[in-house]
Amino acid sequence: MNKQTFSPNWALIKPDFRKIGIGVSVALLGALATYLEDTIPGLDFGQYTPVVVAINSILVNAIRKFIVSSVYVK
């Protein structure tokens, strides 16, 4: 049987910081992808830039989940 670790209310433990770090990385990589796309001549997102950042972040997370193996506990 797998050992499960629980994070108590109003406290953060080491796995919490790891998950927060992964979320920050996904958000930053999504913003970086948008910045790099914006450097392409003739490509301007205008008012839709926040939407493009969100979509790029979702794509970065999907690629991350595709590449990294995951273990799910039932």
- Predicted local confidence at residue 55, as pLDDT: 92
Task: Indicate the pTM of the whole model.
Answer: 0.71
- Predicted local confidence at residue 2, as pLDDT: 59
pLDDT tens digits, residue range 8-52? 788 888 888 988 999 999 999 999 998 998 888 888 888 998 999
Phi-psi region of 42 (alpha: psi -120 to 50; beta: other; left: phi over 0): left
Q: How many Cα atoms are found within 13 Å in the side-chain-facing hemisphere of 42?
A: 0
Sequence ranges of the domains in the chain: 14-65
Average pLDDT, integer, range 44-73: 86
- Please determine, for residue 72, whether its predicted confidence score (pLDDT) is greater than 70: no
